[in-house]
Amino acid sequence: MAFVAVVLLAYRLGAIPESSDVVVIKEQLIKLEKQSWEAWKNRDGKFFQDFLSDDHVEVGFGGVSNKAEIVSFVGSPVCTVKSYQLNQFELKMLDKNTALLTYREAQDTVCHNPVPSPCWVSSLYMKRGDRWLNVLYQQTEIHK
């Protein structure tokens, strides 16, 4: 019973968005995530300059990277993205300004060697001002 009271209080204080708000947030973040994949495919580093937070961290197959490294890497001709598929999106609101988007991706990408695929993705967003920014991105290969 105490748990129910805490959850109700959190909703009243606005710590957790109401369900209709969560649906809108999920749609916004899925749209941003899909735009980031198109930007990755098109080597659009400028998109990532605006999409990533200044304190962004990416945990990938090559290790840990920061925003500047990602922007430079995406804009370079090192990788060729032939195709990708994104599905099974789930959203977990951690508070009203922090959201964890998880999903499955499969891609046909070569960066000297084929990129591991398919993967589960964790993409953490924080609302800063009036914008959702990506603060953490991580992939885990799905072993077949």
More confident residue, 15 or 137: 137
Query: Is it the case that residue 9 has pLDDT exceeding 60?
Result: no
The Cα 140–Cα 113 span in angstroms is 17
Question: In the chain, where are the structural domains located?
Answer: 17-141
Model pLDDT for residues 60-110, shown as the tens digit of each residue = 988 999 999 999 999 999 999 999 999 999 999 999 999 999 999 999 999
The Cα 53–Cα 136 span in angstroms is 9
pLDDT value of position 125: 99
Report residue 10's pLDDT band, with 50, 70 and 90 as the boundaries: very low
pLDDT value of position 14: 52
Indicate the CATH number for domain 17-141.
Answer: 3.10.450.50
The Cα 143–Cα 21 span in angstroms is 35
